[in-house]
Structure 1
Amino acid sequence: MAFTKAIRQAAPDALEVADPWHLLQNLSTAVEKTCRQHRDCLRRPAGSEANRGSKSPQAHVAACELKSARIEVGAYLVAGP
């Protein structure tokens, strides 16, 4: 917290950026966490009755956030540093 405050005071107009390695690391952590949380439904066959309409609101939000993160990482990697 003190580091962030010091940076803001020293360089108030600085733009915070993330390097590709850390973006991909964070993305892989999010994917791993999501897969772990949904391992039971991932094991069921795609056409099974149990999979239809079973997505919880939390799972939907997580999926949307993950999709957004993938899009941002992809856009960054295409644009380059």
Structure 2
Amino acid sequence: MILPNLKKEKGKQEIAANSRKLEQIAGNWNKYRKLEQIQEIVANSKKLEQIQEIGTNTRNWNKYKKLKQIAGNWNK
């Protein structure tokens, strides 16, 4: 009679231990997902900076071409 009770108690302890392990895994998974999201945000931010830099370079190039055209007309 004592033996079956011990088996039940041991089973309950194992279930509790496994439950804690699963909670820990779930917590780690959520941290991993958040890290992935942060990395994606950083990558998108870098892409946006590159796009902004291209836009600035394009505007500067267009200004340079206009100034060169004005200078060429002035020298005529």
> Bigger radius of gyration, 1 or 2?
2
For the criterion TM > 0.5, the same-fold answer is no
Report 1 or 2 for greater relative contact order, CA contacts < 8 Å, sequence distance ≥ 6.
1
Normalising by structure 2, we get a TM-score of 0.33
Normalising by structure 1, we get a TM-score of 0.31
Q: Which has the higher helix share?
A: 2
